[in-house]
Amino acid sequence: MDTQGEKKILFGKWHAVCRFALFTCVLDAAWGQIRYSIPEELEHGAFVGNIAEDLGLDLNKLSARRFRIVSGARKQYVEVNLENGVLFVNERIDREELCEQSLSCSFHLQVVIENPLELYRVEMEILDVNDNSPSFPWTEFNLDISESAAPGSRFPLESAQDLDVGSNSLRTYLLSVNEHFLLDIQTRSDGSKFAELVLQSPLDREQQSAHQMVLTAVDGGAPERSGTAQIDITVLDANDNAPVFDQSFYRVRLAENAPKGTVVIKLNASDLDEGPNADITYSFSGHAPLKVRQLFSVDARTGEIKVKGVIDYEKARMHEIYVQAKDKGPSAVAVHCKVLVNVLDKNDNLPEVILTSVSTPVQEDAPPGTVIAVISVMDKDSGENGNLHSSFKNYYTLVTSDFLDREAVAEYNITLTARDMGSPPLFTRKTILVQVSDVNDNAPRFKQPSYTVYLTENNAPGASICSVTAQDPDSGQNAYLSYSIMDADIQGMAMSTYVSINSDNGNIYALRSFDHEQLKNFQITVQAQDAGFPPLISNVTVTIFVLDQNDNAPVIVSPVTQNGSAPSEALPRSADAGHLVTRISAVDADAGQNSRLFYQMLQATDPSLFSVALYTGEIRTIRQLVEKDPTRHRLVILVKDNGQPPLSATVSIILSVVDSLPDLQPDLGDLSLSPHHSSNFTLYLIVSLGAISFTFLVAIIVLVTVRRLKASTTTEVFKKSNLNVRMSASAPGCAEATSNGALPQVYCYKMCLTPESSKSDFMFLKPCSPVMSVQQNNAKSTDYLTSGWSALDRNELANNRATTPNEMSLQEGAAPNYSWVPKYTQPHSEPPDYQHNVYIPGTTSDYSTLKLAPRGELDVYNTFSTFGKKKRFISNYEQTFDRDDSLISNDIFK
């Protein structure tokens, strides 16, 4: 009857019959608990009750309030559906495994509801189901009964065991039909039943030496279950005296956890017979349960009952031991006694601390009184050994007592101690790790209240200027910082066009090359923002100073050159020593030491006659003039700054010794075409090209004739001179032709054409400022201005340059790469022919060639209208050159 199919039929009947009888729910208002009763062996998902309705809870708020069930048992037998509040069976319940032979079987659950906190105690009563059949320890029992046994003699039989309880437990025993024995059923103090075989009529071994019967144990279940065992009786010859115990019932006390081998009691039985019939052996009788046999042992010779297993008061407070004594004579008859062992409780169980609910991490802005954990404490001991102080059914709550600060303390190790009142007291410690979660309550903080950065001008665009760093004591996203620059204007332009910042690391980069002369300093505001919600920000001011570099050469502002010629000054012959001839004024766009200027005499016709003040640039006479002094002097003044490396500029001054100072100076005004002529420039150009072509053909014929007539004189003159001709494109749409040599001035011939002829600028015979050349290249400008000097003059200049490392000297016969500058240093050799082609856009005659003849003469071929007066210039040049070997007067352009 214990097959699986029978169990399913049995459970089906339980569901049908006991749905309303057994599924009961009792709400105890006084104790604040609910009680459910369910049968054992229910399958997973079986309905227990609607706990939400029983507690009067809102179904929609079960999940939000973290409704859950905490079981004190090792297994989670029941679970709740948070959607409908139904309590259902989660795991099969075996009452016999859970409660063994206890008549009442139940376990407790704790219902925990948070926000706000509510606690309920649920008692689950497990009702027994008749799922176990009675069974005997052996399938056969062998009894030896003397034939002399008197009628009424009793013979205890092995008891059947039924794991079920109550009405499902063992109800009675049945004995098969026989003529000598009947069955007497006895009940123990705990309600269990055992059977004794009673001899009804005397036995006669000679007639029947053995008897066989069937003993059946029947429980009280519906349907009932049963188990059987066979009794084999052997009839012995008479042994007419049986052993006798001192008393039939013994009571002893035994402390739990008594060591193995501890003597519980020593039994004593006597036998009036002699010899083997009086030799008594002790053993457990058939009434002794299996668990008693596991916990105790009986010494067969001495009758001592000793501890064999672990005595646990919490499992069983009392044990009944049934012992029999039997002599060794033939047809020995066993006698029985009962030993009742009362177990004494000891404080041997530590309190149990169970974390029913732990809310961690806790936000640092949680108000005082926030529940962190719900703790339950249990002790399996009884009396004072298990007495614990409790607030609510052994439940405690751990709450915050003050505001938390994660930046100060990020986590807490809280140790709980549960101590009972036993002697000695036992305690249990439980450590709870409470972590504090971050709240964005700290704004970023920069390492400095402000930043000052010094940046040298002419920096490379994209170079790193500096780095600003902010820190945020928060954690995670709340500490992730991004940097940005707040919008502002610098000199009318957006800040974003000047600098940028790396949003991740705070590196600031320059987006352009800064010029100290245009922008000396500026401020930016950097903002650091964390990634919290809402985000917090912090600002810091970064002041950037653009440091000066020596990137500007001095510019000579006085005296001013006119039409590209060196300025002239008149010096009275009667001037005394210390006479102020003139003053050189220069400016430098740089700042500080880079703009500090020094004046130096670089070249002079007579170095003993003039001096220049180092700091003021004043040119004064050193001594009085004498008759043998030249009437014309050339001074080259070097102006250099104090930068590293220093930059410089030079200016040439022509001094004419006169008897008296003239009232008017020659007018070397700009000979540029007036604007109203430029509008008809194209027409003028076409006409001029035709006229000039004819004129130059005539000029060529004249030049050839003049050259042949004055071959001897002109060749010598040009050999002593240096004539430099340079033609270059000065700007888009412009062509420039410059020449220098023995002339103290530099002349530029420019023609600029734009796509719109009405806006074309036609320039003719404009002076080219030496200052501009100096700003482009100081070393080149110095050589450019001194290219007409003799070899001796250049050597002296080279010696003076030894103190100015930035000056560049031209090697003999070499020319700078930006222009063609032929030099003739051999007085008796004829220079090779050079020609330089210049493309001038916007004209029909696209090319013009200037050629220096072998004898130093300047020939012009295919000349366009820009050189309309070139013929006169060449003529005057030759005439002037013949009269004076080293200087050309200003009247050559008159």
Q: What is the CATH number of the domain that holds 600?
A: 2.60.40.60
223 and 201 fall within a common domain = yes
pLDDT, residue 693, reads: 82
Q: Is the pLDDT of residue 120 over 50?
A: yes
Q: Is the pLDDT of residue 730 over 60?
A: no
Q: Rounded to an integer, what distance in angstroms lies between the CA atom of residue 535 and that of residue 481?
A: 10
Q: Which of 416, 437, 458 is the last residue of a domain?
A: 437
pLDDT, residue 34, reads: 87
Mean pLDDT for the chain overall: 74
pLDDT, residue 1, reads: 39
Confidence band of 728 (pLDDT split at 50, 70, 90): very low
The burial of 731, by beta-carbon neighbours within 10 Å (0-12 exposed, 13-18 middle, 19 or more buried), is given as exposed
Percent of the chain with pLDDT over 70: 71
Q: Is the pLDDT of residue 795 over 90?
A: no
Helices (H), ranges, 250-393: 290-295
Predicted confidence (pLDDT) per residue in 553-574, tens digit? 999 998 887 777 788 888 898 8
* Residue 797, domain member (yes or no): no
Pairwise pLDDT comparison (581 vs 5), residue with the higher score: 581
pLDDT, residue 384, reads: 63
Q: Is the pLDDT of residue 437 over 70?
A: yes
Q: Is the pLDDT of residue 756 over 50?
A: no
pLDDT, residue 273, reads: 76
Q: Rounded to an integer, what distance in angstroms lies between the CA atom of residue 298 and that of residue 698?
A: 159
- Cβ pair 695, 607 in contact under 8 A: no
298 and 363 fall within a common domain = no
pLDDT, residue 763, reads: 34
The amino acid sitting at 620 is: R
154 and 115 fall within a common domain = no
Number of domains in the chain: 6
Q: Which of 280, 311, 344 is the last residue of a domain?
A: 344
- Mean pLDDT, range 96-108, rounded to an integer: 82
* Residue 667, domain member (yes or no): no
Predicted confidence (pLDDT) per residue in 490-510, tens digit? 988 999 999 999 999 999 999
Confidence band of 368 (pLDDT split at 50, 70, 90): very high
pLDDT, residue 387, reads: 61
pLDDT, residue 396, reads: 83
Q: Which of 127, 162, 179 is the last residue of a domain?
A: 127
Q: Rounded to an integer, what distance in angstroms lies between the CA atom of residue 384 and that of residue 349?
A: 12
Q: Is the pLDDT of residue 103 over 70?
A: yes
Pairwise pLDDT comparison (137 vs 526), residue with the higher score: 526
705 and 599 fall within a common domain = no
Residue 49 main-chain phi, psi, to 5 deg:
175, 165
* Residue 721, domain member (yes or no): yes
pLDDT, residue 663, reads: 56
Predicted confidence (pLDDT) per residue in 343-363, tens digit? 998 887 778 888 777 888 998
777 and 731 fall within a common domain = yes
Token pair of 844, please?
Answer: 């029909």
pLDDT, residue 843, reads: 34
pLDDT, residue 389, reads: 47
Q: Rounded to an integer, what distance in angstroms lies between the CA atom of residue 777 and that of residue 206?
A: 153
584 and 646 fall within a common domain = yes
Predicted confidence (pLDDT) per residue in 314-334, tens digit? 888 899 999 999 988 877 878
Q: Is the pLDDT of residue 821 over 60?
A: no
- Cβ pair 344, 313 in contact under 8 A: yes
User: Between the CA of residue 211 and those of 136, 143, 233, 237, what are the distances in Å?
Assistant: 20, 10, 5, 15
pLDDT, residue 713, reads: 47
Confidence band of 311 (pLDDT split at 50, 70, 90): very high
pLDDT, residue 832, reads: 37
Pairwise pLDDT comparison (105 vs 828), residue with the higher score: 105
147 and 296 fall within a common domain = yes
pLDDT, residue 634, reads: 92
Q: Is the pLDDT of residue 526 over 50?
A: yes
- Cβ pair 784, 559 in contact under 8 A: no
653 and 779 fall within a common domain = no
- Cβ atoms within 10 Å, residue 80: 22
pLDDT, residue 357, reads: 76
Q: Is the pLDDT of residue 235 over 90?
A: no
Q: Specify the range with the lowest mean pLDDT, choosing from 339-348, 787-796, 861-870.
A: 861-870
* Residue 417, domain member (yes or no): yes
The burial of 137, by beta-carbon neighbours within 10 Å (0-12 exposed, 13-18 middle, 19 or more buried), is given as middle
Q: Specify the range with the lowest mean pLDDT, choosing from 46-55, 305-314, 523-532, 841-850.
A: 841-850
pLDDT, residue 680, reads: 58
Confidence band of 867 (pLDDT split at 50, 70, 90): very low
pLDDT, residue 385, reads: 61
Q: Rounded to an integer, what distance in angstroms lies between the CA atom of residue 464 and that of residue 12?
A: 84
Confidence band of 339 (pLDDT split at 50, 70, 90): very high
pLDDT, residue 201, reads: 92
- Mean pLDDT, range 178-196, rounded to an integer: 87
Q: Which is nearest to 827 in space by CA: 876, 791, 865?
A: 791
* Residue 755, domain member (yes or no): yes
pLDDT, residue 218, reads: 93
- Cβ pair 514, 497 in contact under 8 A: no
Confidence band of 303 (pLDDT split at 50, 70, 90): very high
pLDDT, residue 294, reads: 92
- Mean pLDDT, range 35-53, rounded to an integer: 91
432 and 467 fall within a common domain = no
pLDDT, residue 823, reads: 32
Q: Is the pLDDT of residue 200 over 70?
A: yes
pLDDT, residue 310, reads: 93
Predicted confidence (pLDDT) per residue in 13-34, tens digit? 344 333 333 333 444 433 457 8
Token pair of 224, please?
Answer: 């009932």
- Which residues touch 193 (CB under 8 Å, ≥6 apart)? 159, 170, 171, 172, 173, 185, 186, 187
Confidence band of 69 (pLDDT split at 50, 70, 90): confident
537 and 602 fall within a common domain = no
pLDDT, residue 684, reads: 72
Pairwise pLDDT comparison (755 vs 405), residue with the higher score: 405
326 and 361 fall within a common domain = no
Q: Is the pLDDT of residue 307 over 80?
A: yes
pLDDT, residue 639, reads: 95
Pairwise pLDDT comparison (809 vs 183), residue with the higher score: 183
The H-or-E segment that residue 300 falls in is none
* Residue 72, domain member (yes or no): yes
Query: 53 in helix, strand or coil?
Result: helix
- Cβ pair 604, 574 in contact under 8 A: no
CA angle at residue 299 from 298 to 304, to 5 degrees?
A: 75
Q: Is the pLDDT of residue 115 over 90?
A: no
- Mean pLDDT, range 688-715, rounded to an integer: 74
Confidence band of 681 (pLDDT split at 50, 70, 90): low
* Residue 612, domain member (yes or no): yes
Q: Rounded to an integer, what distance in angstroms lies between the CA atom of residue 182 and that of residue 170?
A: 19
199 and 219 fall within a common domain = yes
Q: In what order do the strands lie in the sheet with 352-358?
A: 352-358, 371-378, 395-399
Token pair of 222, please?
Answer: 């519906």
Averaging pLDDT over each range in 380-384, 626-630, 874-878, which range is the top one?
626-630
Residues of the domain holding 223: 140-344
- Mean pLDDT, range 471-486, rounded to an integer: 93
* Residue 175, domain member (yes or no): yes
Residue 258 main-chain phi, psi, to 5 deg:
-60, 140
User: Between the CA of residue 58 and those of 55, 67, 110, what are the distances in Å?
Assistant: 9, 11, 18
- Cβ atoms within 10 Å, residue 506: 20
pLDDT, residue 722, reads: 40
- Mean pLDDT, range 377-404, rounded to an integer: 71
